[in-house]
Structure 1
Amino acid sequence: MEFHLKENGMRIDFDYGELSISGNEDYGFRPFQLMVASIAGCSGSVFRKILEKQRIEVDDLQINAEVERNPEEANRIERISLKYIIKGPRLDPERLYKNLEISRKNCSMIRSVEDSIKIEESIETIELSG
């Protein structure tokens, strides 16, 4: 990856577009937002693949992230709470939690930060008739 210095941050060009990064939200994504997005995106993608392999029907999967930062330590991310909201027919919460444990073990982003950031996960199911 090649990053380029801009007046108000950094820029990186990917095949699918440009990403601007800045400590000022007016000029790009803030670094902590990208870290949280990487963790939620990785976890959600791995979780979805596991559900597909097990043929668990999911109509929608949404992840809400709450972030706790420590202003005493350069606004360090201390905790990320990920809430998975799953909509579908015949959802088994116990089976979903077991699959979430498997996804956690296979998510490279969570594994990379789990010794320095507390990652909490919960599931809310919304049962749809089907």
Structure 2
Amino acid sequence: MEKIKQFFTENDKFAEYVGIELLEVSEGKAKAKMEIKEHHLNGVKTVHGAAIFSLADLVFAVASNSHGTVAMGINVSISYLKAVKAGTLFAEAKEVSINPKLATYDIHVTDDGNNLVATFQGMVYRKKEALDI
């Protein structure tokens, strides 16, 4: 799993740009964090939905590609449950189901106090090609 973590840490330039740090990777699972900075805030000084989505989307990508084959998102849904203004956000992805072509994942985004900030559900199409690691 270290190769998967290294692959995404080195190659996901958007996640790096917005300040997302990948913490853990195991088969079908991933965890990351994002320390909230001023550039993550929207016009009313709460964390922008796109920042929360990006954090959830990274762990979705890592968990779904953790089997070593290319997995591409085909459908996602996010629900924002709590506004956050400061601190650190964490996202954790868990595989719900997998077959040779499709897999589904649940992602929870929480704050420093382990309060649920958002829930994200995603489905991937699993290609036959190996991840280039």
TM-score (norm 2): 0.35
Structure with higher Rg: it is 1
Which structure dedicates a bigger proportion of its chain to strand? 2
TM-score (norm 1): 0.35
Which structure dedicates a bigger proportion of its chain to helix? 1
